[in-house]
Each structure stands twice: as C-alpha cells, then as structure tokens.
C-alpha cells in the first residue's frame, strides 16, 4: 500500500519527496502537501516515514503478502 499522508500533521517541508528512492511523490508542488502520484512504485522502505520531521504525518500500510511467512 502507498504512503498515507495526514494533511493535519504535514508541514509541507518536502523531505519525503527528496528521500524517496522510487519518486513516489514525483510531480508534487513545493510548499504544498505532497501527493502520492505513483503508489504502485512504493518499496515500503520507510525512508519517507523515518526522515519526516513531523511525527505521525506519514505512515505506511504493509501489504498482506509481505506479512506472510513462506515455508
């Protein structure tokens, strides 16, 4: 699942757009809340969540297949 941005907590700093290795936020305007324009490209690496200065502004939902344990 793509990153979920809480617009009430987001400060529109743009850090997430800079650190994302897959450019999930590509095309977002500066000084505005980032938009997840390419959700299917998200690697769930947590770079955006870890580097975001506003705690709780971004969260990731890990897809069910990644939760399953393969034997």
User: What are the domain boundaries of the chain?
Assistant: 1-71
The predicted pLDDT at position 51 comes to 96
Helix (H/G/I), strand (E/B), else coil: 59: strand
**C-alpha torsion sign, points 46, 59, 32, 9:** negative
Q: What is the pLDDT of residues 8-65, one digit of tens each?
A: 999 999 999 999 999 999 999 989 999 999 999 998 899 999 999 999 999 988 777 7
The predicted pLDDT at position 47 comes to 95
Question: Among all chains, which residue has been given the structure tokens 């990731």?
Answer: 60
Give the contacts of 48 (CB within 8 A, at least 6 positions apart): 3, 15, 16, 19, 20, 24, 25, 58
Per-residue pLDDT band for 69 (boundaries 50, 70, 90) equals low
Q: Which CATH architecture has domain 1-71?
A: 2-Layer Sandwich (3.30)
- pTM exceeds 0.85 for this model: no
**What is the rounded CA–CA span in Å between residue 49 and residue 29?**
19
């Amino acid at each position: 699942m793509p990153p979920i941005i809480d617009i009430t907590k987001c400060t529109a700093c743009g850090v997430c757009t800079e650190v994302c290795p897959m450019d999930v936020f590509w095309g977002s305007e500066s000084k505005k809340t980032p938009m997840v324009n390419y959700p299917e490209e998200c690697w769930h690496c947590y770079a955006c969540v870890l580097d975001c200065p506003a705690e709780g502004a971004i969260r990731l939902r890990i897809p069910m297949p990644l939760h399953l344990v393969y034997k």
